[in-house]
Amino acid sequence: MRLTGIGSRVVLGVLLVALLISGCAKGGGAGEEFVFGVVLVGPYNDHGYSEAHFKAAEYAQENMDNVRFVYLDKMNSADRPNTTMEQVVDDMINEGAQMILTTSDDFAADTDVVAAKYPDIPFVHFTGDHAKTAEAPENVANYMAQMEYGKAIAGCAAALKTQTNTIGYVGPLTNDETRRLASSAYLGASYCYEKYRGGDADDLRFIVTWIGFWFNIPGVTLDPTDVSNDLINSGADVLISGIDTTEAIVVAGQRFDRGENVWAIPYDYEKACEVKPEVCLGTPYFNWGPSYVRLIERAMNGEHAQTFEWEAPGWSNINDPDNSPVGFVQGDALSDDEKALLDEYIAALASGDAKLFVGPLNLQDGTEYLADGVDATPDQIWYLPQLLEGMEGASS
CA distance 202 to 153: 19
Considering the entire predicted model, what is its pTM? 0.90
Residue 277 pLDDT grade (very low, low, confident, very high; cuts 50, 70, 90)? very high
Q: What is the pLDDT of residues 243-274, one digit of tens each?
A: 999 999 999 999 999 999 999 999 999 999 99
Where do runs of H (alpha helix) occur along 27-131?
49-63, 85-94, 108-117
Domain ranges of the chain: 14-145+288-311, 147-285+328-392
pLDDT at 121 over 90: yes
Q: Is the dihedral of CA 63, 69, 75, 80 positive or negative?
A: positive
pLDDT at 3 over 60: no
14-145+288-311 and 147-285+328-392, same CATH topology: yes
Residue 133 pLDDT grade (very low, low, confident, very high; cuts 50, 70, 90)? confident
Helices 147-161, 336-351: crossing angle, 10 deg rounding: 150
Q: What are phi and psi of 233, to 5 degrees?
A: -65, -25
CATH class, domain 14-145+288-311, is alpha beta
Among 10, 1, 240, smallest CA distance to 125 is for 1
Per the CB < 8 A criterion, the answer to whether 144 and 103 are in contact is: no
CATH number of 147-285+328-392: 3.40.50.2300
pLDDT at 342 over 50: yes
Helices 49-63, 289-300: crossing angle, 10 deg rounding: 50
* The pLDDT of residue 387: 98
Q: What are phi and psi of 211, to 5 degrees?
A: -90, -25
Burial of 235 (0-12, 13-18, 19+ CB in 10 A): middle
pLDDT at 134 over 80: no
Among 320, 269, 291, 285, smallest CA distance to 3 is for 291
Among 232, 273, 242, 49, smallest CA distance to 151 is for 242
Q: Is the dihedral of CA 58, 141, 11, 24 positive or negative?
A: positive
Q: What is the pLDDT of residues 184-228, one digit of tens each?
A: 999 999 999 999 999 999 999 999 999 999 999 999 999 999 999
DSSP of 267-298: -B-TTGGGG-GGGB-EEEEE--HHHHHHHHHH
pLDDT at 25 over 80: no
Residue 323's DSSP bridge partners are none
Residue 132 pLDDT grade (very low, low, confident, very high; cuts 50, 70, 90)? confident
**Mean pLDDT for the stretch of residues 275-302:** 98
CA distance 368 to 359: 9
- For the ranges 10-24, 257-271, 351-365, 369-383, the lowest mean pLDDT is seen at 10-24
Among 228, 226, 217, 216, smallest CA distance to 169 is for 228
Per the CB < 8 A criterion, the answer to whether 3 and 141 are in contact is: yes
